[in-house]
Chains A and B, each alone.
Chain A
């Protein structure tokens, strides 16, 4: 059974169709990527899944239950964690406290939330910086913090909105390794929006391509890079991978 099923969702902003009739499914335990040119509607789809706004039409279900129209906090509680493309750290709090906020979703006591947070910080190589204020972190570390915070809510599905953007190739590879590990060891299902093809190709088992708000192709990475339509609208004919 699919963990997340998106059925024919559409969304318009003041007459501009951002997403039209998009459908896809995500199976439990898989890593999936949503790619496409700027303005294709990737983040809009993300925001609908995460509950920032409801779709105009269509339905979204998670573990067999409809979730469209729920608030972001309800969707997070249901088991979907997300990161923001433009990072939103709790700047005045320490790195550890940032992650503890996420930990409190499934833990009552501060002690238990701290334990969860410390484990996750270690996984993301932020352990040494746990007492620094989040505002003092560099961009790559802030991206890691976004991921750590989302993970602390113990999601079954993790939505990653361009977490690789702005990272150097080596940092990008490190991040890829972290997600692979989370997927392999904890069985975490992942959906990422990404422009960095290096990461997409290294991570994703399934790729969906969006163009002008429509899903124009779905398949394995090998199928996608040979799809003439995708080459034309997004990857370009010269792309080497």
Chain B
């Protein structure tokens, strides 16, 4: 159904669904770390940003397309993730303190990029806007349809990957670490190594989001891409949908994006133009979900459907 969607959906609908898929994919990536292994990251904008600037920078300066930029982006993000993981897990930093560490790294990097004139600094970096009617797959430039299919493919890949991970030794070990690290260790699990693996996979997946972001939006500002509100945006989907579940991130991304756009449209139709009213609506809905469905929407639905 999603493959055929572009046949009957307009450009606006397509962009909305692309956005949903983007958040579903990135949420899935974050979910590997928090939902599966129980390591709370509040700094995933770091990997989006570094991934975006790595591939974007290569294209901007040398005209090298994202197929070469992608491995570089993944490599850089995994390296960064492993540094954070090493610092935290070697020195026993866990829970909220780990979360603070992830925020700190994202913030350092944001400030660092503000002073990095080679990549545009605070004024931003702009990729040459693509010709919208030609499918230039090699340079990942083309019509919205191309980005839609790319994101759809990524989402399917992420879902399958997470499904396999969850059913494998890694999934069992991560969940054991999430539920009780001491007991996990007593069952022969090298918790350091398995947590590092979760961070590596999560950051690698998120790096791909970054590359997509760079080539889809064509402009990158440190103040935007590394901002903590971006990290929050990433994690809201899985939290609303259901942390640690496979369908949670997808469902959460759909609900939040449609809600956000729905509120905008609804308010416009009513002719209300009160500054900030959208955020208030958004906040109220989030609050309601967290209050009435503390485990997220998906576990609730799964229970109703007796899955």
Query: Which of B168, B175, B179, B188 is the one whose CB lies under 8 Å from A105?
Result: B188
Q: In the bound complex, do residue B186 and residue A104 qualify as a contact, i.e. CB atoms below 8 Å apart?
A: no
Cβ distance A24 to chain B, nearest Cβ, rounded Å? 22
The answer to whether the Cβ of A150 comes within 8 Å of any Cβ in the partner chain is yes
A201 to B188 alpha-carbon distance, docked (Å): 31
A50 to B183 alpha-carbon distance, docked (Å): 12
Q: In the bound complex, do residue B179 and residue A73 qualify as a contact, i.e. CB atoms below 8 Å apart?
A: no
Query: Looking at chain B, what size class is its interface with the partner chain?
Result: 20 to 34
Of B168, B184, B187, B189, most buried by chain A (CB within 10 Å of CB) is B187
Which B residues, 150 to 186, have Cβ-Cβ distances below 8 Å to chain A? Answer: 167-169, 172-173, 175-176, 178-180, 182-186
Residues in chain A near residue B94, CB distance under 8 A: none
The answer to whether the Cβ of B191 comes within 8 Å of any Cβ in the partner chain is yes
The answer to whether the Cβ of A97 comes within 8 Å of any Cβ in the partner chain is yes
The answer to whether the Cβ of A89 comes within 8 Å of any Cβ in the partner chain is yes
A150 to B190 alpha-carbon distance, docked (Å): 16
Cβ distance A100 to chain B, nearest Cβ, rounded Å? 6
Q: In the bound complex, do residue A150 and residue B187 qualify as a contact, i.e. CB atoms below 8 Å apart?
A: yes
Q: In the bound complex, do residue B188 and residue A77 qualify as a contact, i.e. CB atoms below 8 Å apart?
A: yes
Cβ distance B187 to chain A, nearest Cβ, rounded Å? 5
Residues in chain A near residue B187, CB distance under 8 A: 73, 76, 101-102, 105, 149-150, 152-153
Residues in chain A near residue B176, CB distance under 8 A: 90, 93, 101
Query: Which of B169, B175, B186 is the one whose CB lies under 8 Å from A82?
Result: B186
A126 to B69 alpha-carbon distance, docked (Å): 53
Residues in chain A near residue B172, CB distance under 8 A: 97, 100-101, 104, 110, 113
Query: Which of A72, A97, A100 is the one whose CB lies under 8 Å from B186?
Result: A72
Q: In the bound complex, do residue A104 and residue B169 qualify as a contact, i.e. CB atoms below 8 Å apart?
A: yes
Q: In the bound complex, do residue B175 and residue A97 qualify as a contact, i.e. CB atoms below 8 Å apart?
A: yes
Question: What does the 1/0 interface line of B171-215 toward A look like (CB < 8 Å)?
Answer: 011011011101111111111000000000000000000000000
Cβ distance A111 to chain B, nearest Cβ, rounded Å? 10
Q: Which residue of B lies closest to A77 (CB)?
A: B188
Q: In the bound complex, do residue B183 and residue A90 qualify as a contact, i.e. CB atoms below 8 Å apart?
A: yes
Question: What does the 1/0 interface line of A54-71 toward B look like (CB < 8 Å)?
Answer: 000000000000000001
Cβ distance A36 to chain B, nearest Cβ, rounded Å? 23
Query: Which of B169, B178, B180, B188 is the one whose CB lies under 8 Å from A73?
Result: B188
The answer to whether the Cβ of A53 comes within 8 Å of any Cβ in the partner chain is no
The answer to whether the Cβ of A92 comes within 8 Å of any Cβ in the partner chain is yes
Q: In the bound complex, do residue A72 and residue B185 qualify as a contact, i.e. CB atoms below 8 Å apart?
A: yes
Interface size on A, residues (CB 8 A): 28
The answer to whether the Cβ of A84 comes within 8 Å of any Cβ in the partner chain is yes
Q: In the bound complex, do residue A101 and residue B186 qualify as a contact, i.e. CB atoms below 8 Å apart?
A: no
Cβ distance A31 to chain B, nearest Cβ, rounded Å? 21
A82 to B169 alpha-carbon distance, docked (Å): 21
A57 to B268 alpha-carbon distance, docked (Å): 75
Residues in chain A near residue B191, CB distance under 8 A: 73
Residues in chain B near residue A132, CB distance under 8 A: none
Question: What does the 1/0 interface line of B279-290 toward A look like (CB < 8 Å)?
Answer: 000000000000
The answer to whether the Cβ of A231 comes within 8 Å of any Cβ in the partner chain is no
The answer to whether the Cβ of A178 comes within 8 Å of any Cβ in the partner chain is no
A100 to B186 alpha-carbon distance, docked (Å): 14
The answer to whether the Cβ of A197 comes within 8 Å of any Cβ in the partner chain is no
Q: Which residue of B lies closest to A72 (CB)?
A: B185
Q: In the bound complex, do residue B186 and residue A110 qualify as a contact, i.e. CB atoms below 8 Å apart?
A: no
Q: Which residue of A lies closest to B180 (CB)?
A: A88
The answer to whether the Cβ of A226 comes within 8 Å of any Cβ in the partner chain is no
Of B182, B184, B185, most buried by chain A (CB within 10 Å of CB) is B185
Cβ distance B295 to chain A, nearest Cβ, rounded Å? 10
A128 to B111 alpha-carbon distance, docked (Å): 57
Residues in chain B near residue A104, CB distance under 8 A: 169, 172-173
Residues in chain A near residue B185, CB distance under 8 A: 71-73, 76
Cβ distance A163 to chain B, nearest Cβ, rounded Å? 14
Query: Which of B168, B190, B244 is the one whose CB lies under 8 Å from A110?
Result: B168
In the A-B complex, the 6 residue pairs with the smallest Cβ-Cβ separation, listed nearest first, are A90-B179, A76-B188, A88-B183, A105-B188, A101-B176, A72-B185
CB<8 Å pairs between A and B, sample of 10: A71-B190, A72-B185, A73-B191, A74-B190, A89-B183, A90-B180, A92-B178, A101-B173, A104-B169, A113-B172
Tell me the B residues contacting A by CB distance below 8 Å. Answer: 167-169, 172-173, 175-176, 178-180, 182-191, 244
Give me 11 other A-B pairs in contact (C-beta within 8 A), A101-B187, A153-B188 excluded: A71-B185, A73-B187, A74-B190, A76-B188, A89-B179, A90-B179, A92-B244, A101-B176, A104-B173, A110-B168, A150-B186
